[in-house]
A = this chain, B = another copy of it.
Amino acid sequence: MSTPRPIEPLGHAVPSTVPTHWYNLAADLPEPTPPHLHPGTKEPLTPDDLAPLFPMALIEQEVTTERYVEIPQTVREIYSTWRPSPLVRAHRLERALGTKARIYYKYEGVSPVGSHKPNTAVAQAYYNALEGTTKLTTETGAGQWGASLSFAAALLGLTCEVWQVRASFDAKPYRRFQMETYGSVCHPSPSELTESGRAMLAADPDTTGSLGMAISEAVEAAAKDPKAHYALGSVLNHVMLHQSVIGQEVLEQIVEAGEEQVDVAFGCAGGGSNLAGLTFPLIGKNLREGTTTRVVACEPAACPSLTQGEYRYDHGDVAGLTPLLKMHTLGKDFVPPAIHAGGLRYHGMAPMVSHALNLGLLEATAVDQDTAFAGGVEFARAEGIIPAPESTHAVAAAIAFARTAESDGRSVLIGLSGNGVLDLPAYGAYV
């Protein structure tokens, strides 16, 4: 018998609690997000500019202002193996804190790779496979995104090549093994395989790499291979769109839990995809229906793009190959210190998140690493789940809030973007 292609839906029932559409905040914004600009001409990007890197479906999603975009059935089927992710009342944490707030956490750590990243990885792999791409390239820092894209590529029949920041490649091999188990190839970056990598090595043979350098390599590799495309795990509008399944589920689940609304939501923010996914559906409801959810973006004090960066056009990578994005940025050459929350070490912030902050639709706070880990340990000992170092920023900010009288009687949401299983050495160092 002929084997159906992996992108074809299997046809099994998917629970109605798995969202049928992605939600797009662009439809509800009072002002549009400033467009991405061509790095050469400085004019707004055209679809043709992006065609070497992305399939047309994703290019359309990057600029659409439709409120809802239908999720393909194959993607929903894959989502259904871990979605809807649980919204859990943190009863034991409340008891430990002695708070009068009602604390909930939305837990993305149940995904096969332990974080929210597969929500967009599956969608991106799907549209690429549909349009005939056979290979995806990407960059990764600690490896969460590389592992997520590898997972999605395996399920959808694509090969995947990952450039991993050399410091992580050498020091943290677990996620590389994860990528390889899914069938991907993983290179340390900078590598000798690309022009930009060779140039970076020539400039500094001992460099341990950065996310910005790895992006340059992955983009170059995709641009030079007609059957390959590039995939980015955060920052871009279509990534924010795919992550909206998180917050859409929250809107249903919080009502089921007996609440009128989320009063205050805390989400960690690095590139912005977790924050956007968790909170854009809540912000959209504020705008459309007059709910009053407060949204707090929690970033590391060591890489404070939202609280201390400038709001201006900047490149997403070091070599300047990516489009210019209007965003809160510390500058493309900013090299963040080696904090444990590798997923938050990015010089910029998603244009949509930056724009939402500028419009006053969300607020931002910076959390230092010790405070973040203290919150993570307190959460782990009360609730049993060890949060990802990224997530601990939201955990710590929520705990601080829940200790104030202001939190009395309020519903508080923590975005638990992932678990910290592969970050246990960081906890070991802290404990």
Contact = CB atoms under 8 A, between A and B. Distances in A.
A385 B78 CA distance: 12
Q: Which secondary structure dominates where chain A touches chain B?
A: helix
Contacts of A292: none
Nearest to A430: B181
Interface in A92-140: 92, 95-96, 98, 110, 112, 114, 118
Interface in A373-431: 377, 380-386, 421-422, 424-425, 427-428, 431
A384 B177 contact: no
Contact of A151 (B384, B422, B424): B384
B177 A428 contact: yes
B173 A428 contact: yes
Given A3-B95, A91-B10, A425-B173, A181 B386 contact: yes
B89 A424 contact: no
A54 interface: no
Contacts of A34: none
A382 B77 CA distance: 13
Given A78-B384, A154-B380, A384-B155, A181 B424 contact: yes
Interface residues of A, number: 48
A88 interface: yes
A12 interface: yes
Contacts of A78: 384
How many copies altogether? 2
A347 interface: no
Contacts of A10: 91-92, 95
A384 B149 CA distance: 11
B181 A1 contact: no
A427 B88 contact: no
A4 interface: yes
A182 B95 contact: no
B181 A385 contact: no
A81 B384 contact: yes
B177 A425 contact: yes
B421 A180 contact: no
A178 interface: yes
A381 to B, nearest CB: 4
A57 to B, nearest CB: 22
Interface in A148-169: 151, 154-155
A4 B10 CA distance: 50
A114 B114 CA distance: 11
A120 to B, nearest CB: 15
Given A377-B181, A431-B180, A384 B421 contact: no
Interface in A33-91: 77-78, 81, 88-89, 91
Interface of A: 1, 3-4, 6, 10, 12, 77-78, 81, 88-89, 91-92, 95-96, 98, 110, 112, 114, 118, 151, 154-155, 173-178, 180-183, 377, 380-386, 421-422, 424-425, 427-428, 431
18 contacts: A10-B95, A77-B91, A81-B88, A110-B110, A112-B384, A154-B382, A155-B382, A173-B425, A173-B428, A174-B422, A175-B424, A177-B425, A178-B421, A178-B427, A181-B381, A181-B431, A182-B381, A422-B422
